[in-house]
A = this chain, B = another copy of it.
């Protein structure tokens, strides 16, 4: 399987590039670091950098699952009789606990929130993610949600996520993210049935 081998080395180069880049960003800031800098530090050309990552921003999102790739699958795996909001709560809780346990992930979050360009890119990725989550929620066995309500649920979940991040930033990174998430999900309730009137 030569395809596999090529893919493996390609992944290795990406990882190396990501490592080098995040180091530089942490040390001298995102805007102050040029793609040329990153590439040279990793022993290649600017042009080659762009053969591994489409933009300067994307290098930050490599390796760490900050956009919950597997969340979609997890939703489908939940029991069919679970209410949608509780389903989201459970799945995101598990995901957030993973993140919270990784010092590297937390450092990356800090970097992203301190850098407008990166925050923008995260939002862009989250937008695609939300579409997939909303779909998964809607087509879950045993439930019958209209698309608007599915979006409402999904967006409310990211509302909690964002509030957690803000509070976490306010506490200088000392707050317990999973606990905050839990509290947030308990304070918000989403009616899965549109008002009949």
A44 contacts the other chain (Cβ, under 8 Å)?
Answer: no
- Among B116, B124, B152, B159, which residue has its beta carbon within 8 angstroms of that of A187? B152
Beta-carbon contact of A190 and B188 below 8 Å: yes
Residues of B within 8 A of A166 (CB): 147-148, 151
- Among B120, B151, B160, B187, which residue has its beta carbon within 8 angstroms of that of A163? B151
Residues of B within 8 A of A159 (CB): 152, 155-156, 158-159
Residues of B within 8 A of A119 (CB): 124, 127
Beta-carbon contact of B195 and A156 below 8 Å: no
A194 to B160, CA, bound (A): 14
- Stretch in A6-14, A63-71, A178-186 with 4+ CB within 8 Å of B: A178-186
- Look across to chain B and name the residue whose beta carbon is closest to the beta carbon of A161: B155
Residues of B within 8 A of A116 (CB): 124
Q: Chain A 157-175 against B: per-residue CB contact (8 Å), 1 yes, 0 no?
A: 0111011001100100000
- Among B147, B184, B191, which residue has its beta carbon within 8 angstroms of that of A170? B147
19 A-B residue pairs with Cβ-Cβ distance under 8 Å, sorted by A, are A119-B127, A120-B120, A120-B123, A120-B124, A147-B166, A148-B166, A148-B167, A148-B183, A152-B160, A155-B158, A155-B159, A155-B163, A156-B188, A183-B195, A186-B191, A188-B190, A188-B191, A189-B189, A189-B191
Query: A residues engaging B (CB < 8 A)?
Result: 116, 119-121, 123-124, 127, 147-149, 151-152, 155-156, 158-160, 162-163, 166-167, 170, 180, 183-184, 186-191, 194-195
